[in-house]
Structure 1
Amino acid sequence: MERIAQHKILVAGNSFEQCCDRVRKFFDLTSLVIYDCIQVIDELCHHGPDADFFPELKKAEQKNQLTINSLIDELESAGINRIGDLRSKDPGYSSKVFHILAHLLDGFIGIDSYFYSIESDSHRLSDQARSQLQSAPDKYWLIHLDCYSELPEEAGVLHM
């Protein structure tokens, strides 16, 4: 198996175990991303009251923003500088880049999502969500996931 993604998932619950269960259930029920194996890396998870929670949350949100900025740069290098420029673009790579960008802006989790909040179905926190988090940090966990899939050459052998 090969690690193909890492996610930092913000989730609320009464305990670390309950939060991990909610995260696993979320991935079990979503059809947007499918992994063969999801591992919670305990030592990279952070609880709301911990001193490193908010700095880690900020880093995770910033990593998504860097991905967004990179996708916008790719679109601009393809000659898409305004939304209207999409009218004249042929289907292909540029439309795929736009599709990924749209998901990072609209809240659908994908393999490119680094930070994701289950609580608000988003890749960044609104001021209201951040205020709720700050008023009750003990309810929140930032769960780190390493996500794996079978290598394509192994998948055919294993499923025949």
Structure 2
Amino acid sequence: ATPGGLISATGVAGLTLSGGIGWLRGSHGLSVDNLLAADLVTADGRLIHADATQNPDLFWALRGGGGNFGVVTSFEFKLHPIEPELMLCGPAYPEERANEIIPLWRDFMQTAPDRLSGLAEFSTLPDDPSIPEHARGRRVLALAHVYD
């Protein structure tokens, strides 16, 4: 596996060229940390390969500099072995408890192992039958964790 993004609608190019925060970041870094090479078409129509030895300045710029250097047509990523199972935990707390929960979560994450990635965000739960009726449409502090 290689570190991908947190949001399924983000494409690989935008994710990687902007840094790439994903669930495997604790143990394997950002998406861009795992970029080995890229091919791109420049504004003048040239096809260029960039890696640590060929066009290294361009490769350095691509690793987090955004899509300002050309249209990337291919990426090569470092792959890492991972366990066959990952654990996901996603508790949600009423927004009113945020001042209590966030410091506890922060302290926990500072001592957590690198293999545990976490995210805290404010969100509005959908009005959906899969959500308990008392929580539908409510603002919550959502915590998400992946242990790889």
| TM-score normalised over the length of structure 2 | 0.22
Greater strand fraction, Structure 1 or Structure 2: 2
Bigger relative contact order, structure 1 or 2 (CA pairs below 8 A, ≥6 apart): 1
Greater helix fraction, Structure 1 or Structure 2: 1
| TM-score normalised over the length of structure 1 | 0.21
